[in-house]
A and B are shown apart, each in its own frame.
Chain A
Amino acid sequence: MSEESTPAEDGDRNVGQRFDRLPATDAERTVDGRASRGAVVEYFADRFGIAPETFDDYTFWEKGAGKIWIYAGEAPTPIEIEAIGMTCLRTRQEHWKPTTDFVQRFGHHATDCVIELDRDAARRFVAGEDQARDWDGDWGYLIAGHELAGELEPLGVGLFVHGELRSMVPKGRQREL
Chain B
Amino acid sequence: MEPLERYRPIVDDFEAFLDACKRPLGTAVRVNTIKSPVDRTLDALEKDGVDYEQADWNPHVLRLDTDSPGSTWTSFHGFTHGQEEVSAVPPVVLDPQPGERVWDCCAAPGGKAIQLAALMDDRGTVVANDNNLGRISALRFNAERLGATSLAVTNEDARNYSLSRFEFDAFDRTLVDAPCSCEGTIRKNPDALDNWSPDHVASVAGIQKGILRRAVQATREGGTIVYSTCTFAPEENEAVVDHALDREACRVVDVDIGLDYSPGITEWEGNEYDTSLERAARIYPHQNDTGGFFVAKLEVTG
Contact = CB atoms under 8 A, between A and B. Distances in A.
A65 interface: no
Interface in B41-74: 41, 43-44, 47, 70-73
Interface residues of B, number: 41
Contact of A105 (B147, B155, B165): B147
Contacts of A173: 76, 145
A149 B43 contact: yes
Interface residues of A, number: 35
Contacts of A74: 101, 125, 166-168
A105 B75 CA distance: 14
B165 A81 contact: yes
Nearest to A75: B152
Contacts of A99: 144
Interface in A22-58: 57-58
A173 B76 CA distance: 8
Contact of A86 (B41, B47, B76, B144): B144
Contact of A175 (B34, B76, B143, B167): B76
Contact of A72 (B72, B75, B144, B149): B149
Contact of B150 (A1, A73, A76, A148): A73
A173 B41 CA distance: 19
Interface of B: 34-35, 40-41, 43-44, 47, 70-73, 75-78, 101, 122-126, 133, 136, 140-141, 143-145, 147-155, 165-168
Interface of A: 1, 57-58, 70-76, 79-87, 99, 101, 104-105, 126, 148-151, 153, 155, 172-173, 175-177
